Amino acid sequence: MGKNIGFISTRFSGTDGVTMEASKWATVLRKKGHNCFWCAGELDRAPERSYLIPEAHFQYEKNKWINERIFGRRGRKPAVTETIHAIKSLLKVQIHEFVEKYSIDLLIPQNILAIPMHVPLALALTEFISETEFATIAHHHDFYWERSRYLINAVSEYLRMAFPPNLTSVEHVVINSDAQEQLALRTGISSIIIPNVLDFDNPPKITSKQDSDFYQSIGLSADDIIVLQPTRVVQRKGIEHAVELVKELKDPKYKLVVSHEAGDEGYEYVEWLKNDARQSGVDLRFIESKVMDPLNEEIDFKGRNSLWDIYPFADFITYPSLYEGFGNAFLEAIYFKKPMLINRYSIFVRDIEPKGYDLVVMDGFLTKNTIKKVREILESQELKEKIVNHNYEIAKKHFSYSILRKRLGYLLGIFFGGEVL
């Protein structure tokens, strides 16, 4: 019998990694007869399965006010503590209402018990789970100790309590082996690894629809060679290396296109990038309209681009991130059979590179040899096809939906027994 499963976070909207992984989990769960419902501060899901709590958004004004007063400093004022607990109490009532409205059997908090972007929400959920012993699979994408901006803080007792909570009714999921080790070392909490995945058993269906519309929307022609940076515009994505690559290719036909929006971490970096590109003579384009999550089966895409509408037009992918919890864009590039440049961030080195992919790699900086390899791939269709087909087969073996299905089935079996997935 299908279960009612409640996903909860600060936001399920757009194409950030947390939102997209939640969509994949929901797809796998729905195909096995379970019902999925959504609770967050921003939602682009079906209204009849959604419970919107504006105060749960990480950009909620009072939450931003709190964060300004608890991070980057050691002590906090009583007024900050009182505000945290007032919002926590309000959110706990709303979580109860979400669970009751949709008769939720299992909660899947997405990253809110790992990264303290919204401390009152995590405290509210932790107290709710503790008081009700509610069946919970906590999906952790990145932890606070992995981000320098959270290391100096005035809420250490809350971080120990709720990021993540060590409760008997919670099973913990991490996305890489380093996170699994650090979680155990720091908290004594055991976890299961479920890497980010894609449906490699069913390759993307690429059609010629909207070809001219897409090119026109970013002011390019079909003759241009698109180097795609398929990430949000935040500093840790290392987009300046993509700018440098296009500069060194020394051909005006090469255009650098960034797929996602800026704003999650401010606009200073995007302005710096624009200036850097201008000075380097690089044609840098941003897709201005909001790009939708292609894995969200509950949205009408009419007149709007999804991420899957953009990848087919790319000739090459840049992914020079300084840090990633796993790396969605890596899997997406392989799924669409695109060659790519990747910076050897730590999780890539440990969990991905040993699988044997054929990639252009860099170690924090571009070399002449790296640029030469990129040019060789772009100028040889035969070499390009050999590389992308090889990579696809490896990803199909290690990062397909079958991996997710098997491990989610194990977790659901812990709570409900029997064959639930």
pTM, full prediction = 0.87
**β-pairing verdict for 35-40 and 50-52:** parallel
AA letter at 223:
D
343 domain-assigned? yes
From the list 68, 94, 89, the residue with the least C-alpha distance to 80 is: 68
**What band does 207 get if pLDDT is binned at 50, 70 and 90?**
low
From the list 311, 304, 324, 391, the residue with the least C-alpha distance to 355 is: 391
202 domain-assigned? no
CB–CB of 196/331 below 8 Å? yes
**What band does 18 get if pLDDT is binned at 50, 70 and 90?**
very high
* pLDDT 10s digits, 245-263: 999 999 999 999 998 766 6
Exposure of 196 in the CB half-sphere (CA atoms within 13 A)? 25
Is the pLDDT at 283 greater than 60, yes or no? yes
The answer to whether residues 286 and 188 belong to one domain is no
The answer to whether residues 216 and 176 belong to one domain is no
Q: Which two tokens stand for residue 363?
A: 């170690």
**β-pairing verdict for 254-258 and 284-286:** parallel
The answer to whether residues 394 and 405 belong to one domain is no
Distances 421 to 77, 172, 195, 229, 334 between C-alpha atoms, Å: 48, 18, 18, 36, 27
Domain that holds residue 315: 211-398
Span 291-312, average pLDDT: 72
Instruction: Identify which has the larger pLDDT, 294 or 395.
Output: 395
421 domain-assigned? no
3-state secondary structure of 65: helix
DSSP string, 189-243: ---EE----B-TTS------TTHHHHHHHTT--TTSEEEEE-S-S-GGG-HHHHH
Crossing angle of helices 268-280/239-249, nearest 10°? 10
* pLDDT 10s digits, 325-368: 888 889 999 999 999 999 999 889 999 999 999 999 999 999 99
The answer to whether residues 224 and 315 belong to one domain is yes
CB–CB of 115/323 below 8 Å? no
105 domain-assigned? yes
Lowest mean pLDDT of 69-73, 241-245, 275-279, 300-304, name the range. 300-304
The answer to whether residues 371 and 255 belong to one domain is yes
Number of domains in the chain: 2
What is the dihedral sign for C-alpha 80, 82, 86, 89? positive
The answer to whether residues 362 and 410 belong to one domain is no
36 domain-assigned? yes
What span, in angstroms and rounded, lies between the C-alpha atoms of 330 and 204? 15
203 domain-assigned? no
What is the dihedral sign for C-alpha 40, 43, 45, 47? positive
What's the mean per-residue pLDDT of the chain?
91
The answer to whether residues 186 and 270 belong to one domain is no
pLDDT at res. 289: 64
Is the pLDDT at 222 greater than 80, yes or no? no
The answer to whether residues 64 and 91 belong to one domain is yes
pLDDT at res. 7: 98
Work out the number of other CB atoms within 10 angstroms of the CB of residue 273: 24
The answer to whether residues 106 and 222 belong to one domain is no
112 domain-assigned? yes
Is the pLDDT at 28 greater than 80, yes or no? yes
If residue 336 lies in a helix (H) or strand (E), which one and from where to where? none
* pLDDT 10s digits, 140-181: 999 999 988 999 999 999 999 999 999 999 999 999 999 999
What span, in angstroms and rounded, lies between the C-alpha atoms of 401 and 237? 26
What span, in angstroms and rounded, lies between the C-alpha atoms of 83 and 89? 10
What span, in angstroms and rounded, lies between the C-alpha atoms of 112 and 109? 6
pLDDT at res. 231: 87
Span 275-286, average pLDDT: 92
pLDDT at res. 233: 87
What span, in angstroms and rounded, lies between the C-alpha atoms of 48 and 59? 24
- CB-based contacts of 346, cutoff 8 Å, min separation 6: 178, 323
**What band does 419 get if pLDDT is binned at 50, 70 and 90?**
low
205 domain-assigned? no
The answer to whether residues 301 and 356 belong to one domain is yes
Q: Which two tokens stand for residue 135?
A: 């069946």
Burial of 356 (0-12, 13-18, 19+ CB in 10 A): exposed
Which letter does DSSP use for residue 87 in this model?
H
The answer to whether residues 165 and 224 belong to one domain is no
The answer to whether residues 133 and 220 belong to one domain is no
CATH classification at residue 85: 3.40.50.2000
Chain length of the chain? 421
CB–CB of 39/57 below 8 Å? no
**What band does 300 get if pLDDT is binned at 50, 70 and 90?**
low
